[in-house]
């Protein structure tokens, strides 16, 4: 199984966690993910995910003037998004524990 | 921050154009399309100024990436229906006007149903062509041109076919009285003006003028019928070409 496949589902939670830290725009988000070590997937992948999260009302976006010229879309978490992140953290802790248990018993 | 304003690479530009075309032909909402294209444009600019390429951003398959985006976006079937309806209504108003100037407004059932079917077939083929062009990598300009030529010729050939079929098979004919003609002409002009205002372009009227005025002038000069036909066709298509070139230049200046 490739790591891209493993990432599905997990990356959503990580995106929520990064957005919770501060309001952020697409490129910044992609860069943060890369810094955290998620370098196996292409940056553009975040946009379909962001569109979906927006549809599910986990994140909202506002347009702000940027130094580079055109307006930039900044994302922030909704209350629903914050709840989802909490649930993700619980789920992840449990999953991580179980996997570690199996691998390093 | 100056570097950020640098123009995008050709590859990125063509990706964004293809993406737009792909999303339009998949019936996505205009505003949503603009939003995602602008966002990706911003991303690509920043990424390129840091030495990344479009392939790094969207992965190996642009087609797959476009599909990923498209799947998450809401398909606006009503938007499509609106476009189709507008094309058919606009086309009808347009042909009624050209026919009225030539002095005969009467249509057979065959002509009416045939025209609607040809409109639908043309719209469908244009949509398919857009989808094909936007998702095919490295399509040569020659191939793209050939494809558009075929798509452009298709309705013309179908209409010629319809004209012959109409002569062969007799179907009931609708005539308009003088009053009826006036009403329908006024209605057609109204529809075209309304649509032009909505689309913020007068292209329909320019086309109409180019189709009608040459015929009108040439009818009043004394030349052989064959030359008349060639001359009027030449002026019409020449005029349309000049208009399109002029428009293209104007649009490039805006960008």
- pLDDT exceeds cutoff 90 at A81: yes
CA pair distance B205, B191, nearest whole angstrom: 12
3-state secondary structure of A39: coil
Chain A closest-CA separation from residue B38 CA (Å): 9
Is the CB of B56 less than 8 angstroms away from the CB of A67?
no
Chain A residues close to B45, C-beta within 8 Å: 68
pLDDT at A95: 92
| Secondary element (H or E) of residue B223 | none
Distance separating alpha carbons of residues B147 and B130, to the nearest angstrom: 10
* A46 neighbors A26 (Cβ within 8 angstroms): yes
Poorest-confidence range of A35-44, A65-74, B56-65, B111-120? A65-74
Residue of B nearest to A74 (CA): B39
- Scanning chain B, the segments in alpha helix (DSSP H) are 10-25, 30-49, 54-58, 62-72, 77-101, 109-135, 141-168, 178-199, 203-219, 225-254
For A27, nearest residue in chain B (alpha carbons)? B43
Burial of B64 (0-12, 13-18, 19+ CB in 10 A): exposed
- Which residue range forms the structural domain that includes residue A83? 3-103
* pLDDT confidence band for A69 (50 / 70 / 90): low
Contact in structure between B214 and B231 (CB atoms under 8 Å): yes
Are A70 and B56 in contact (CB < 8 Å)?
Answer: no
Q: Which of B21, B1, B2, B253 shows the shortest CA–CA distance to B130?
A: B21
Mark yes or no for CB contact A67/B1 under 8 Å: yes
Nearest-neighbour CA in chain B from A97: distance (Å): 32
Hey, is the C-beta of A43 within 8 angstroms of any chain B C-beta? yes
CATH of the domain at A61: 1.10.10.10
- Say what the pLDDT of residue B1 is: 41
Q: For residue B140, what pLDDT is reported?
A: 77
Q: Which residue of chain B has the CA closest to A43? A: B57
Domain count, chain A: 1
* pLDDT level of residue A46 (50, 70, 90 thresholds): very high
Q: Do A44 and B41 touch (CB under 8 A)?
A: no
DSSP H or E segment with residue A74: strand A71-77
Contact at 8 Å (CB) between B185 and B177? no
Q: Which residue in B has a C-alpha nearest to residue A49's C-alpha?
A: B72
Q: Which residues of A touch B65 (CB under 8 A)?
A: 42, 44
Per-residue pLDDT of chain B (255 residues), as tens digits, is: 444 445 788 888 889 988 998 888 888 888 889 999 999 999 999 999 988 888 888 887 888 899 999 999 988 777 677 777 777 888 888 888 878 877 777 888 888 899 889 988 988 888 888 888 887 766 777 888 888 888 888 888 998 999 899 888 888 888 888 888 888 889 888 888 888 887 777 777 787 787 777 777 777 777 777 777 787 778 877 887 887 777 777 766 655
Residue A39: how many other CB atoms lie within 10 Å: 11
Residues 6+ apart with CB under 8 A from A1: none
């Amino acid at each position: 199984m490739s790591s891209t496949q493993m990432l599905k589902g997990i990356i959503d939670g990580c995106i929520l966690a990064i957005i919770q830290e501060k309001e952020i725009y697409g490129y910044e988000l992609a860069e943060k993910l890369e810094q955290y070590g998620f370098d196996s997937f292409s940056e553009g992948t975040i946009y379909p995910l962001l569109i979906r999260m927006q549809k599910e009302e986990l994140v909202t976006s506002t347009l702000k003037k940027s130094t580079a010229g055109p307006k930039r879309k900044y994302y922030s978490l909704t209350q629903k998004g914050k709840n989802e992140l909490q649930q993700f953290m619980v789920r992840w802790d449990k999953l991580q524990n179980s996997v570690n248990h199996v691998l390093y018993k | 921050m100056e570097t950020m304003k640098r123009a995008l690479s050709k590859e990125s530009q063509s990706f964004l154009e293809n993406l737009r075309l792909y999303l339009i032909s998949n019936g996505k909402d205009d505003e949503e399309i603009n939003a995602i294209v602008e966002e990706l444009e911003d991303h690509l600019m920043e990424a390129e100024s840091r030495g990344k390429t479009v392939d790094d951003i969207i992965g190996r398959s642009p087609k797959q990436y476009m599909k990923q985006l498209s799947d998450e976006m809401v398909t606006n079937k009503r938007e499509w229906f609106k476009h189709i309806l507008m094309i058919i209504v606009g086309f009808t108003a347009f042909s009624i006007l050209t026919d009225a100037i030539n002095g005969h407004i009467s249509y057979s059932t065959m002509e009416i149903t045939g025209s609607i079917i040809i409109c639908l077939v043309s719209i469908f083929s244009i949509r398919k062509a857009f989808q094909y062009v936007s998702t095919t990598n490295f399509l040569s300009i020659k191939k793209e041109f050939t494809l558009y030529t075929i798509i452009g010729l298709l309705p013309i050939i179908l209409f010629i076919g319809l004209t012959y079929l109409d002569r062969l098979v007799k179907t009931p004919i609708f005539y308009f009285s003088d009053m009826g003609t006036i009403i329908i002409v006024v209605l057609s002009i109204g529809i075209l003006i309304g649509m032009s205002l909505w689309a913020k372009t007068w292209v329909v009227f320019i086309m109409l003028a180019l189709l009608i005025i040459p015929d009108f002038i040439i009818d009043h000069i004394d030349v052989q019928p064959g030359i008349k036909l060639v001359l009027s066709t030449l002026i019409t298509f020449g005029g349309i070409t000049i208009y399109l070139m002029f428009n293209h230049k104007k649009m490039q200046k805006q960008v």
